[in-house]
Amino acid sequence: MSNRYTKATDVTTSELRKSTQSNILAGLTNAEPSGMIAPPSAGEAAPERSDVRLEINPHHCVSCLACVRACPVEAIEVEGPRVQIVEDACIRCGACVPACPHDAVDVAGDLGRALELAVRGDAVLLLSVEAEVYFHPRTPVQLVNACYRAGFPIVHRGVLGDELVAAEYQRLWDDQVWGTMIRSTCPVVVETVRRSYPELLPYLALVKTPLAAEVDYLTAKHGDDVRIVYAGVCLDNGDNTLDAVITLDELAQLLRAREVDIGAQSVHFTRIPEERRRHVSMAGGLPLAMLTREPQASRRFRKIRRDLGQLDTISKAVTQEGMEVGFVDILPCEGCLDHPLLGPRDELFWRRKTLADGEPPRSPVAVLDPAVTVDVARGFDPHTNGDKPDDSRIASVIERIGTAPDGKPWDCAACGFRTCAGFAGALLKGRAAYRQCPPYQERRAKKAQEEAAVDELTGLATYRVLRDTLQHEIARSGRTGEPFGVLFADLDRFKDVNDRCGHEAGNRVLLAVADVLRDAVRSSDVAARYGGDEFVVVLNGTNADGALRVAEEIRRAVERSGLDAGHPVGLVTVSVGVAAFDPQAVADEDVLDVADRALYHAKAEGGNRVA
């Protein structure tokens, strides 16, 4: 596909990162891992912290805006045909990736750094639970053995973070003092609240994400210098304390680069593994006891999945109506197993089953090392996603879109926003475009159609309408046997009017002629401006005699209007050619051509006459 929006030499950050990574992959592929954790060498700087980037590849993007509709936080900027992700506003939910029908959203973690750390052989790999599903049918044990072999001496499964935060949630649940509490284990929810619903910040549970808690746990256990690589689908690394974050696709690349075949690994652990069992937690970090004791319909426990828009309702209920809505378990999806990067949603059941089949039995005792102390509490600062435009600007966008017959906004959600006001706010921030709104497009198309049907100066029909009318009349005449008349009128010395009196006066003459034509025809007839000072009238159900009478009436009225306007005698006159379409006669000529030829004769005879 040709590059429509950038110069041929432009390269996206993802492409640069990919090219750097492939160089590193080429250079490091055969290096041997050391196989054990070692402190960094003296004087060696720790690598920078890392994050996953999402970018729209302009070479693949066709600007269809499907991703803009899917983005829950207005993080995609639209400027004409150019569509790009605003890094600072993106919460890395991944929703735009499967939404793009053109595979134009690139997701790139720091594979190069992860590979460097694997080669050094002293980093901990934090493998998300979903990895077991991603690499199926390879077994979880084979996957962990492959990661050992690739150079990670310690591989965690990501359950310890769940255990840490679950204990804290259980403590909060048992504490009866709160009235509203929003689960905060999902970075996407937290970031959405920070950017779009800062008024709900006081209601977020003051608990870290399981990933952040586990990173703290590993740091407390192995020391501040421990290097940690995370591989998973949760692309927002929360408090940004990881050395490298990679996607599961990139983990597969890393293993290939290290020439490690997962399928060739032993089905028994080749090292004593880290703890893989849960004691108190469910996947995602809620305590099992809380979930099993509290019925789903409980007023104290509200489960909301796949609908971050409900934050709007919660915000109104809590901050405007002062309601206490209990514990709100809200997630953008059905949990990480439903993450857009793991594949289609209809595989969710299969994924759950696969994970459940590979889940080790629960531990009857605590699985966290009691010697390791981690504080899982955290606070939240607001992080605005641009200023909210003021109400008058939002109202003017809604006015431009148009409203329903009762005067209220359509709020049809076809643009991807729940309300017209939401769309207007995003549009004013450059995060949406009018072409996302079907009612606006329809309104514009209708207006354009109307504009094309009516001549701007005279208000008469345009040539397009005239053409359609003639076709329609010919067909109707053929069916009914009724004739119809056509008048072709042309002002005789219109150039003289313009030259002697100016264009303004010329326009006034045209307007007067239009009035004459309107007065002369019935509502079922059509009077059109053919172009310049030429006009055509179609008189339905009218024979040649009737058409001649109307033409003469028009001629006289135009002459009179010129005199009434103060023009000299003979300056404003019109010649009219008349033709009648007779359905019984053999038609070998276009009726408009016949009228035009008659007009020619009228002019040739001196003008101001009917022929």
| Binder among 24, 28, 52, 96 for ligand SF4 (CB under 6 A) | 96
| Binder among 169, 327, 417, 494 for ligand SF4 (CB under 6 A) | 417
| Binder among 24, 91, 186, 193 for ligand SF4 (CB under 6 A) | 91
Verify binding: residue 83, ligand SF4, rule CB under 6 A.
yes
Question: Closest separation between CB of residue 105 and ligand SF4, Å?
Answer: 5
| Binder among 73, 126, 466, 513 for ligand SF4 (CB under 6 A) | 73
Verify binding: residue 64, ligand SF4, rule CB under 6 A.
yes
Verify binding: residue 345, ligand SF4, rule CB under 6 A.
no
Cα separation, 127 vs 405, whole angstroms: 55
Tell me 409's DSSP state.
B
Question: Closest separation between CB of residue 205 and ligand SF4, Å?
Answer: 22
Q: Given phi > 0 = left and psi -120 to 50 = alpha, else beta, which region is 600?
A: alpha
Question: Closest separation between CB of residue 68 and ligand SF4, Å?
Answer: 7
Selected range binding ligand SF4 among 30-38, 53-61, 251-259, 581-589, rule: CB under 6 A: 53-61
| Binder among 423, 488, 535, 581 for ligand SF4 (CB under 6 A) | 423
Looking at beta carbons only, is 127 or 432 nearer to ligand SF4? 432
Verify binding: residue 104, ligand SF4, rule CB under 6 A.
yes
Question: Closest separation between CB of residue 84 and ligand SF4, Å?
Answer: 9
Q: Which residues of 478-516 are buried (b: 16+ CB within 10 A; e: fewer)?
A: eeeebbbbbbbbbbbbbebbbeebeeebbebbbebbbbb
Selected range binding ligand SF4 among 57-65, 158-166, 211-219, 578-586, rule: CB under 6 A: 57-65
Cα separation, 544 vs 552, whole angstroms: 12
434-453: contacts with ligand SF4 (CB under 6 A): 437-440
CA end-to-end span of the chain: 61
Question: Would you tell me how many other CB atoms lie within 10 Å of the CB of residue 579?
Answer: 23
Question: Closest separation between CB of residue 341 and ligand SF4, Å?
Answer: 10
Q: Tell me if 336 sits within 8 A of 363, measured CB to CB.
A: no
* Tokens 């172009």, located at residue: 531
Verify binding: residue 93, ligand SF4, rule CB under 6 A.
yes
Verify binding: residue 411, ligand SF4, rule CB under 6 A.
yes
Verify binding: residue 105, ligand SF4, rule CB under 6 A.
yes
* Tokens 């950038």, located at residue: 6
> Torsion angle of alpha carbons 22, 26, 32, 36, nearest 10°?
-10
Verify binding: residue 133, ligand SF4, rule CB under 6 A.
no
Question: Closest separation between CB of residue 293 and ligand SF4, Å?
Answer: 34
Number of residues that bind ligand SF4 (CB under 6 A): 44
Residues in a beta bridge with 182: 204, 328
Verify binding: residue 547, ligand SF4, rule CB under 6 A.
no
| Binder among 24, 52, 56, 190 for ligand SF4 (CB under 6 A) | 56
Q: Tell me if 578 sits within 8 A of 600, measured CB to CB.
A: no
φ, ψ for residue 129 (rounded to 5)? -55, -35
**Among the listed residues 512, 484, 503, 495, the one whose alpha carbon sits nearest the alpha carbon of residue 595:** 484
Written as one string, the DSSP assignment of 506-556 is: HHHHHHHHHHHHHHHS-TTSEEEEEETTEEEEEEET--HHHHHHHHHHHHH
Cα separation, 280 vs 366, whole angstroms: 8
Question: Closest separation between CB of residue 342 and ligand SF4, Å?
Answer: 14
Looking at beta carbons only, is 250 or 492 nearer to ligand SF4? 250
| Binder among 52, 54, 466, 580 for ligand SF4 (CB under 6 A) | 54
Question: Closest separation between CB of residue 238 and ligand SF4, Å?
Answer: 15
Question: Closest separation between CB of residue 582 and ligand SF4, Å?
Answer: 51
**Among the listed residues 216, 237, 229, 213, the one whose alpha carbon sits nearest the alpha carbon of residue 47:** 229
Binding site for ligand SF4 (CB under 6 A): 54, 56, 61-67, 70-71, 73, 75-76, 83, 85, 90-96, 99-100, 102, 104-105, 401, 409-415, 417, 419-420, 423, 437-440
